[in-house]
Amino acid sequence: MSYTETIGSRTYRFADLKTLLAKASPQRSGDQLAGVAAASEEERVAARMALAQVPLRAFLNEALIPYESDEVTRLVIDDHSPQAFAEISHLTVGDFRNWLLSSTTDADALTRITAGLTPEMVAAVSKLMRNQDLIAAARKRPVITRFRNTVGLPGHMSVRLQPNHPTDDVKGIAASMLDGLMYGCGDAMIGINPASDNLAAITRLLLMIDDFRLRYQVPTQSCVLTHVTNTIAAIEKGAPVDLVFQSIAGTEKANAGFGISLALLQEAYEAGLSLNRGTVGNNLMYFETGQGSALSADAHFGVDQQTCEVRAYAVARKFNPFLVNTVVGFIGPEYLYDGKQITRAGLEDHFCGKLLGVPMGCDICYTNHAEADQDDMDNLLTLLGVAGINFIMGIPGADDVMLNYQSTSFHDALYVRDVLGLRRAPEFEEWLESMQITDARGALLSASPQQPLLEGANDWMGIV
């Protein structure tokens, strides 16, 4: 089905829904690279005007990537709930935006319709929204998950402690981990990007974190971000695996480029569940995504990068994840050119993920060749804190020495929690207070030799 919109004396024609969505997207370098972006701001406005009039039902009748050739499309269509959709089935995309922003639409209403939403519907409405709209609507929709602690409660924000090391040196990783914990970071998880996919090295890291966790009774979860097949192998060998990691994308072909399928993810999910390591819940999958991944794999099929990204969230929600992380600026300026594009993408991803019922966090980051700096990251950090982000990253000095990119630091987490009054996961806050790291309000205490964690840290480091 084609779509048209007239502005003045010029009529714009959009061949199909895929084209209309791409032309309606805010400007970004990835869509320009793919040749799907609007040629002018006027064409972009025309596309948004036409998109606003499209009934939400149209997204159930016109697949952007054919059902027969893409398992993500099949997942989206087969798992769609007509009952949940019924409440909003009469709306156009423009009406849906107004409904989302209405003062009468609350968390209960957004939860009721979750299973009735497709990623294409959610991507479409985001393209009609200003940044403040994305923030306001996302804030209404908490997504709460549990493993050893509870993440995503309103008024709370967690931090993934990322103590990477360029040679996987266990003592170096342990030192960064202790540093982050002393700043009150790590309630989302302690997650290491290994420099090697060697199974023995991965297992050694898992054992180190688990030994520390058990020794100090830390109510958090660990993850070594290796390929899911390595994690399955580690589980089979008896390694202490908490969260199961995998990078995912929004098309079958892009996921094949990662070496995965929905069936493999199901196998990994079941392997993780079999360990029964959660204490307050069993959400255990950890997924990472990022706008541009499908395009970089030549697996986007002409779909704009943001819509491809939101399709990845449909993959994520199938497996009841504990955390989903959009690594927003990591792929580079070929896909998100500057601070403005990174900021917009981060707000889009968070909004779209939350609307689909996904526990969204964000690695607020950029590569050194992007037209961005730490001030841009401060801005996005603050906006996402207002929007109700589930978690952010905590990296020593905001500079990852293994992955060579810029993110957010332990101090950045302190800043956003202070100015917005955000708390950590409640179980983790109780532990921090018991270890004399924070007071009852969650504020850091001055370091002293009496702190139990410091008292034993040197001895523990000696046996790592």
Query: Given pLDDT bands bounded at 50, 70 and 90, which one contains residue 1?
Result: confident
Task: Determine whether 73 is exposed, middle or buried from the number of CB atoms within 10 Å of its CB (0-12, 13-18, 19+).
Answer: buried
Predicted confidence at residue 450, as pLDDT, reads 56
User: What whole-number distance in Å separates Cα of residue 179 and Cα of residue 461?
Assistant: 13
Query: Given pLDDT bands bounded at 50, 70 and 90, which one contains residue 447?
Result: low
Predicted confidence at residue 463, as pLDDT, reads 59
Query: Where on the phi/psi map is residue 338: left (φ > 0), alpha (ψ -120 to 50), or beta?
Result: beta
Query: Given pLDDT bands bounded at 50, 70 and 90, which one contains residue 305?
Result: very high
Q: Residue type for 183, please?
A: Y
State yes or no: pLDDT of 462 exceeds 80: no
User: What whole-number distance in Å separates Cα of residue 172 and Cα of residue 165?
Assistant: 7
State yes or no: pLDDT of 449 exceeds 60: no
Predicted confidence at residue 93, as pLDDT, reads 98
Tell me the per-residue pLDDT of 65-113, one tens digit each, with 9 for 90 and over.
Answer: 999 999 999 999 999 999 999 999 999 999 999 999 999 999 999 999 9
Query: Where on the phi/psi map is residue 398: left (φ > 0), alpha (ψ -120 to 50), or beta?
Result: left
Instruction: Tell me which residue of 145, 129, 82, 139 sits closest to 106, measured CA to CA.
Output: 139
Beta bridge partners of 18: none
Contact 312, 249 (CB under 8 A): yes
State yes or no: pLDDT of 134 exceeds 80: yes
Predicted confidence at residue 159, as pLDDT, reads 98
Tell me the per-residue pLDDT of 384-401, one tens digit each, with 9 for 90 and over.
Answer: 999 999 999 999 999 999
Residues flagged as binding site for adenosylcob(III)alamin: 194, 246, 296, 402
SS3 assignment, position 359: coil
User: What whole-number distance in Å separates Cα of residue 258 and Cα of residue 305?
Assistant: 17
Q: Residue type for 134, please?
A: L
User: What whole-number distance in Å separates Cα of residue 20 and Cα of residue 17?
Assistant: 5
Alpha carbon 329 to chain centroid, angstroms? 12
Half-sphere exposure (Cβ direction) of 107: Cα atoms closer than 13 Å:
9
H or E element at residue 355: helix 339-355
Predicted confidence at residue 300, as pLDDT, reads 98
Dig out the tokens for 143 from the structure.
Answer: 């997504």
Largest CA distance in the chain: 77
Residues flagged as binding site for substrate: 160-162, 193, 288, 363
User: What whole-number distance in Å separates Cα of residue 430 and Cα of residue 149?
Assistant: 11
Average pLDDT rounded to a whole number, residues 269-292: 98
Predicted confidence at residue 448, as pLDDT, reads 61
Among 108-122, 215-229, 442-456, the range scoring the smallest mean pLDDT is 442-456
* CA 391 to each of CA 112, 160, 185: distance values in angstroms, whole numbers, following the listed order: 24, 7, 11
Contact 183, 394 (CB under 8 A): yes
pLDDT above 70 covers a percentage of the chain that reads 97
User: What whole-number distance in Å separates Cα of residue 445 and Cα of residue 430?
Assistant: 14
Residues flagged as binding site: 160-162, 193-194, 246, 288, 296, 363, 402
Query: Strand 10-14 to strand 3-7: parallel, antiparallel, or no bridges (unpaired)?
Result: antiparallel
Contact 366, 406 (CB under 8 A): yes
CA dihedral of 431, 281, 395, 419, whole degrees rounded to 10: -70
Contact 310, 352 (CB under 8 A): yes
Contact 360, 347 (CB under 8 A): no
Dig out the tokens for 28 from the structure.
Answer: 């970004």
Query: Given pLDDT bands bounded at 50, 70 and 90, which one contains residue 446?
Result: confident
Among 4-18, 116-130, 168-182, 436-450, the range scoring the smallest mean pLDDT is 436-450
Average pLDDT rounded to a whole number, residues 454-463: 68
Predicted confidence at residue 451, as pLDDT, reads 75
Contact 365, 406 (CB under 8 A): yes
End-to-end Cα separation, the chain, in angstroms: 63
Tell me the per-residue pLDDT of 343-388, one tens digit each, with 9 for 90 and over.
Answer: 999 999 999 999 999 999 999 999 999 999 999 999 999 999 999 9
Average pLDDT rounded to a whole number, residues 212-220: 96
Mean pLDDT in the chain?
A: 96
State yes or no: pLDDT of 55 exceeds 80: yes
State yes or no: pLDDT of 407 exceeds 70: yes
DSSP label at residue 15 = S
Average pLDDT rounded to a whole number, residues 161-177: 95
Cβ atoms < 10 Å from Cβ of 400? 21
The alpha carbons of the chain give a radius of gyration, in whole angstroms, of 22
Dump the DSSP string for 56-115: TTHHHH--SS-GGG-HHHHHHHHT--HHHHGGGTT-BHHHHHHHHHSTT--HHHHHHHGG
Contact 444, 214 (CB under 8 A): no
Predicted confidence at residue 341, as pLDDT, reads 98
User: 3-state SS string over 250-296?
Assistant: CCHHHHHHCCCCHHHHHHHHHHHHHHCCCCCCCCCEEEEECCCHHHH
Dig out the tokens for 395 from the structure.
Answer: 């990296």
pTM: 0.96
Contact 361, 391 (CB under 8 A): yes
Average pLDDT rounded to a whole number, residues 32-55: 98
